[in-house]
């Protein structure tokens, strides 16, 4: 087999492998259920925080864990152009809970007042 022919076969095999990998990856992505768009959850919070400028963020997921970091990032995008800061020092706070039933317990804190319960574990609270 000549060097030129060998080169053609090599190039063809590489192209076929690449196409197979791309098709496999695309099929995998198609078969996975698509996640809910971020706006589905955070659009009410975005409206409730409009004009606030900056808000703090409270969650029952620790922000240094994967789930908490993902929750914060989705919320950060979901409520923009309000800037979320990952702390509770701001006067207005977005509460984003993985377990909505914990909201009542959170609101027993003496320095927090519920401004709007958005449901599904989301609420806007403010410091007294």
Partner 1 sequence: MIALVSLALLVSGAVRALAPRDRAFRAAAAALAFGVWCSALGAGVLLQARTAVDLACALAGAALWLIPWRADAPQAAGRASWPMRALVLVNAAGAAAGFIATAHAFPDGGWDATMMWNLRARFFAGDPQPLQLVFDRALYHSGYPLLVSGGVARLWILFGERSWAPLALGAAFAAA
Q: Which two tokens stand for residue 61?
A: 């997921």
Which residues, 93 to 122, sit near partner 1 by CB under 8 A?
none
* Site string (18-57) toward partner 1, x via CB under 8 A: xx--xx-xxxxxx-x-xxxxxx-------------xx---
> Angle, nearest 10°, between helix axes 38-49 and 66-79?
60
User: 117: which strand partners?
Assistant: 123
Long-range contacts of 61-70 (CB under 8 A, 24+ apart): 61/98, 67/98
Q: Quick one: 57 or 122, whose CB is closer to partner 1?
A: 57
State in angstroms the smallest separation of the CB of 45 from partner 1. 14
Number of Cβ within 10 Å of residue 2's Cβ equals 7
Helical residues (DSSP H) of 2-88, grouped into ranges: 3-31, 38-49, 66-79
Q: Quick one: 51 or 110, whose CB is closer to partner 1?
A: 51
* Number of residues forming the site for partner 1 (CB under 8 A): 30
When asked if residue 10 is in the footprint of partner 1 (CB under 8 A), the reply is no
Residues within the interface to partner 1 (CB under 8 A) = 15, 18-19, 22-23, 25-30, 32, 34-39, 53-54, 73-74, 76-77, 80-81, 83-86
């Amino acid at each position: 087999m000549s060097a030129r022919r060998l080169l053609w076969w090599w190039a063809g095999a590489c192209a076929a492998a690449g196409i197979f990998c791309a098709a496999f990856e695309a099929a995998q992505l198609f078969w996975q259920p698509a996640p809910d768009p971020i706006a589905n959850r955070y659009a009410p919070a975005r409206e409730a925080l409009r004009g606030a400028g900056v808000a703090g963020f409270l969650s029952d997921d620790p922000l240094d864990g994967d789930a908490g970091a993902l929750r914060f990032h989705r919320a950060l995008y979901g409520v923009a152009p309000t800037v979320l800061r990952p702390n509770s020092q701001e006067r207005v706070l977005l509460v984003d809970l993985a377990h909505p039933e914990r909201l009542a317990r959170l609101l027993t804190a003496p320095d927090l007042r519920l401004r709007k319960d958005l449901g599904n574990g989301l609420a806007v609270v403010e410091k007294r």
